[in-house]
C-alpha cells in the first residue's frame, strides 16, 4: 500500500489535468513540466544526499547552480566567438560546444564543492543553525563574485542551433531543449542509482546515510565520503544550472536562489536522503507548476506550496523518506 500511494499521486497529477486541457496543449505542458522537474531534480538530488549522509543543510547549493550556468555561459560564448560553434549548423560542433560547457561547469563546481565543504561546512558539523548561516554567507559571497565577474544584469544565453527549435510529431510541436533536459535527467538518475547500488563507494554512502557512526567503526574515513558527496552534489547542481540557462536562454546572478527554494520543497516532498523521492517530487512539482501556470497563472507557485503542505500533513517524512 505504501509503495502505491506515491504512484497514485503521480498518476492523478499527470492525467488529471487532461480533464481541463486539450490533448495537444497537455502534451506540450507535460514535456515542459517534466523538463523543469528534471532540472530541479538535478539540484535536489545533490541536496538530498548531502543532507541524508552528512546531516548538513547546504544553502550554498543555489550559488553553485548559478556558477555552473555562468561558467557554461562563458565557455559557450568563447567557443562561439573563436570558432562559431554555437551559431554553426554543424551538429558535431554544437554538441562539442555543449559538452565543453558542461565539462567546464562541472569541473569548476567540483572544485567549489570541495572548497566549500572543507572550509565552510566542516567546522560547523552538527550545528544546523550555523550551517544555515554560514552557507548563506557563502551564497552571498559567491553571488557577488558573479556580479563582479560577469555584471549584475541578466544576460542572454547563446543556445546552439541544433538545440533550438522543435520537432514536429504528428501535428504536435515538441521543443528540443526540454526533451534534452528530460533525457539528461533520466541519465543522471540512472547513473546515481547505478553508482549507489553497484559500486563500493555507493555502498558505503548508502550505509552512511543510514548510520554514519557505524561506517566509521567499519574502518572508513567518512569525511572523505562527505567531501566526495558534497562535490558530486555540487557538480550536479552546476549541470542543472547550465541546463536551466539553456532552457530559459538567460542567466541571472540570482537564478540559483530562486531554484533553491524549489529544490528544498522537492527534497521535503520526496524525503530527505532519497534520490528516487527527489525525482518523484521534482516531477510532481514541475508538472503541477506547468499545468496550473497554464490554467490559472497566478496560482502556480501556490500549487507548489500546497503540494508541500499536503505531503507534510499526510506523510511528514516525505513520500519516500526514511523517517529518521
Partner 1 sequence: MSYLRLAALAAFALVPLLGASFQVIDLAMKIALFATLVASYDILIGYTGIVSFGHAMFFGVGAYAVALALTRFGAPTYGHLMAGVLAGMAAGAVLAVVIATFSLRVRAIFFAMITLAFAEFAVILAVQWSELTGGEDGLSPRLPGLLAVGGDGGRLLGVPISSRLVAYYVVLAACLACFLAMARFVHSPLGRTLQAIRDNALRAEALGVRTFACQVAATTFASVVATVVGAGYAVWVRYVNPESTLGVPIMLDVLLMVIIGGIGTLYGGLVGAAFLVTARQSLPYLSRVGAALFPGSALAQALTERWLLYFGVLFILVVFFFPRGVLGTLRQASARRGSS
Partner 2 sequence: MSEPLLEVEDVHTWIGQHHILQGVSLRTRPGAVTVLLGRNGAGKTTTLRTIVGLLHAARGAVRFEGRPIHRLPAYEVVRLGIGYVPEGQGIFATLSVDENLRVAMRREDAASRERLTAMRALFPDLARFAGRPAGTLSGGQKQMLAIARAFVNDNRLLLIDEPSKGLAPIVVEQLVVALRTVKRQTTVLLVEQNFAMAAALGDDFYLIDGGRTVHQGPMETLVRDQALKKRYLGV
Binding mask 34-53 for partner 1 (x = CB under 8 A): -----------------x--
Query: Up-side HSE of residue 145: CA atoms within 13 Å toward CB?
Result: 13
Q: Please choose, out of 18-26, 136-144, 168-176, 237-245, the segment that lies near partner 1 by the rule CB under 8 A.
A: 136-144
Q: Which does 222 bind (CB under 5 to 8 A by kind): partner 2, partner 1, none?
A: partner 2
Query: Of 37-45, 74-82, 197-205, 276-284, which segment contacts partner 2 by CB under 8 A?
Result: 197-205
Grid cell 487532461 — which residue? 18
Cα separation, 2 vs 323, whole angstroms: 13
Which of 211, 258, 187, 251 lies closest to 45, judged by CA? 187
Angle at which helices 23-54 and 200-210 cross, to 10° = 80
Pick from 38, 32, 18: nearest CA to 283? 38
Residue 8 interaction partner, one of partner 1, partner 2, none, beta carbon < 5-8 Å per kind: none
Site for partner 1 in 92-121 (CB under 8 A): 120
Instruction: Judge whether 180 and 31 are in contact, CB under 8 Å.
Output: no
- The smaller minimum CB distance to partner 2, of residues 10 and 322, is found at 322
Number of residues that bind partner 1 (CB under 8 A): 38
Per-residue contact flags (x/-) with partner 2 for residues 221 to 260, judged by CB under 8 A: xx--------------------------------------
Nearer Cβ to partner 2, position 210 or 258?
210
Q: Judged by CB under 8 A, which of 24, 147, 198, 224 binds partner 1? A: 147
Rule CB under 8 A: say whether 308 interacts with partner 1.
yes
What's the rounded Cα separation, in Å, for the pair 69 and 253? 9
Count CA within 13 A, CB hemisphere, residue 126. 2
CB of 233 or CB of 273, closer to partner 2: 273
269-288: contacts with partner 1 (CB under 8 A): 272
* Size (the chain), residues: 324
Grid cell of 229 as nine digits: 558527496
Least distance to partner 1, CB of residue 206, Å? 21
**Residue 230's closest CA among 105, 68, 45, 100?**
45
CA 119 to chain centre: 24
Sign of the C-alpha dihedral computed for residues 114, 115, 118 and 124 taken in this order? negative
324 touching partner 2, by CB under 8 A: no
Residues that bind partner 1 (CB under 8 A): 51, 57, 120, 123-124, 128-130, 132-134, 136-141, 144-145, 147-148, 257, 261, 264-265, 267-268, 272, 298, 301-302, 304-305, 308-309, 312-313, 316
Amino acid at each position: 500500500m505504501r509503495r502505491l500511494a506515491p504512484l497514485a499521486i503521480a498518476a492523478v497529477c499527470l492525467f488529471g489535468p487532461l480533464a481541463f486541457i486539450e490533448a495537444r496543449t497537455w502534451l506540450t505542458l507535460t514535456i515542459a513540466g517534466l523538463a523543469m522537474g528534471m532540472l530541479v531534480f538535478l539540484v535536489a538530488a545533490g541536496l538530498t544526499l548531502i543532507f541524508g549522509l552528512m546531516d548538513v543543510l547546504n544553502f550554498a547549493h543555489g550559488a553553485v547552480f548559478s556558477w555552473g550556468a555562468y561558467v557554461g555561459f562563458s565557455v559557450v560564448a568563447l567557443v562561439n566567438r573563436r570558432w562559431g560553434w554555437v551559431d554553426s549548423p554543424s551538429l558535431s560542433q554544437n554538441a562539442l560546444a555543449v559538452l565543453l560547457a558542461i565539462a567546464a561547469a562541472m569541473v569548476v563546481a567540483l572544485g567549489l564543492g570541495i572548497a566549500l565543504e572543507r572550509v565552510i561546512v566542516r567546522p560547523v558539523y552538527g550545528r544546523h543553525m550555523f550551517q544555515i548561516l554560514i552557507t548563506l554567507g557563502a551564497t552571498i559571497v559567491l553571488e557577488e563574485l558573479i556580479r563582479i565577474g560577469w555584471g549584475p544584469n541578466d544576460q542572454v544565453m547563446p543556445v546552439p542551433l541544433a538545440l533550438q527549435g522543435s520537432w514536429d510529431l504528428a501535428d504536435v510541436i515538441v521543443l528540443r531543449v526540454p526533451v534534452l533536459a528530460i533525457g539528461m535527467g533520466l541519465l543522471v538518475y540512472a547513473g546515481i542509482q547505478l553508482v549507489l547500488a553497484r559500486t563500493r563507494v555507493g555502498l558505503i554512502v548508502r550505509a552512511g546515510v543510514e548510520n554514519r557512526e557505524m561506517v566509521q567503526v567499519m574502518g572508513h574515513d567518512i569525511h572523505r565520503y562527505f567531501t566526495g558527496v558534497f562535490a558530486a552534489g555540487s557538480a550536479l547542481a552546476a549541470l542543472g544550472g547550465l541546463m536551466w540557462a539553456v532552457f530559459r536562454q538567460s542567466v541571472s546572478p540570482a537564478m540559483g536562489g530562486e531554484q533553491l527554494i524549489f529544490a528544498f520543497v522537492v527534497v521535503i516532498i520526496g524525503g530527505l536522503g532519497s534520490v528516487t523521492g527527489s525525482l518523484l517530487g521534482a516531477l510532481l512539482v514541475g508538472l503541477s507548476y506547468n499545468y496550473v501556470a497554464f490554467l490559472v497563472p497566478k496560482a502556480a507557485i501556490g500549487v507548489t506550496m500546497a503540494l508541500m503542505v499536503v505531503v507534510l500533513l499526510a506523510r511528514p517524512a516525505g513520500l519516500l523518506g526514511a523517517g529518521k
